[in-house]
Amino acid sequence: MLNPLNFRASLLRCARLMSDEINIILLPHQLNYSLWQVLYVIQLKQGCTSIDIAEYLNVSKPSIAKRIHALMQLEVLDQVDTEDKRQKKLILSIKGQQLFATCSQKLDLFEQQLLLPLDQAAQNSTLSTLHQLMQHLQEMKGGQS
């Protein structure tokens, strides 16, 4: 039987090593992994509110507000009005779209290099396992209310 401590430690260490490498890739673009996550969600959703981002990333709204402020200073986000005047929809500016495309290419290349030692079956199995774990964690979180 798999030792849960070894699994947890390995999973967390892998995530840390990967985020460290991503930070190195993003640094020349004045980004880090946490800022990249915000850009990613905005691109994925083709625009969204800060509340949407906080919920998607499962982080606090003040944490997202800090990230959005940093991205606004880089001029990579634009705000547009929504039906709810209290909320602004965030979209990538032209500069943000270009930055996203550039960084996506670099991160895709990193991911391809990372997966090189794994054959397609191993990649598929790993991805399936990660999706199952995330789904189970979401279900467990939902049941805690």
Task: Please say whether the dihedral angle defined by the alpha carbons of residues 51, 144, 135 and 104, taken in this order, is positive or negative.
Answer: positive
pLDDT in tens, 5-62: 688 899 999 999 999 999 999 999 999 999 999 999 999 999 999 999 999 999 999 9
Domain residue limits at 59: 25-110
DSSP assignment of 57-120: HT--HHHHHHHHHHHHHTT-EEEEE-SSTT-EEEEE-HHHHHHHHHHHHHHHHHHHHHHTTS-H
Q: Give residues with Cβ within 8 angstroms of 19, minimum separation 6.
A: 33
For residue 17, is it within any domain? no
The predicted pLDDT at position 52 comes to 95
Q: What is the CA radius of gyration of the chain?
A: 17
Greatest CA separation for the chain:
55
Write the CATH number for 80: 1.10.10.10
Per the domain annotation, does 102 fall within a domain? yes
Going by the DSSP 8-state scheme, the letter that residue 29 receives in this structure is G
Q: Say how far apart CA 110 and CA 21 lie, in whole Å.
A: 9
pLDDT of residue 145: 44
Domain contains 31 = yes
Predicted confidence (pLDDT) per residue in 129-140, tens digit: 999 998 998 889
Model pLDDT, residue 125: 95
Confirm whether 63 is domain-assigned.
yes
Check residue 22 and give its pLDDT.
Answer: 98
Would you say residue 80 lies in a domain?
yes
Residue 45 lies in a domain: yes
Q: Summarize pLDDT for 85-122 with one digit per residue, the tens.
A: 778 899 999 999 999 999 999 999 999 999 999 999 99
The answer to the question of residue 122 being in a domain is no
Which two three-digit tokens encode residue 106?
């670099």
**pLDDT given at position 33:** 97
pLDDT of residue 87: 82
Does residue 18 fall inside a structural domain? Answer: no
What is the count of structural domains for the chain? 1
> Would you say residue 123 has pLDDT above 90?
yes
Which has the closest alpha carbon to 29: 139, 122, 104?
104
pLDDT at 40: 97
Tell me what pLDDT residue 85 has.
Answer: 76
What is the β-pairing status of strands 88-92 and 77-81? antiparallel
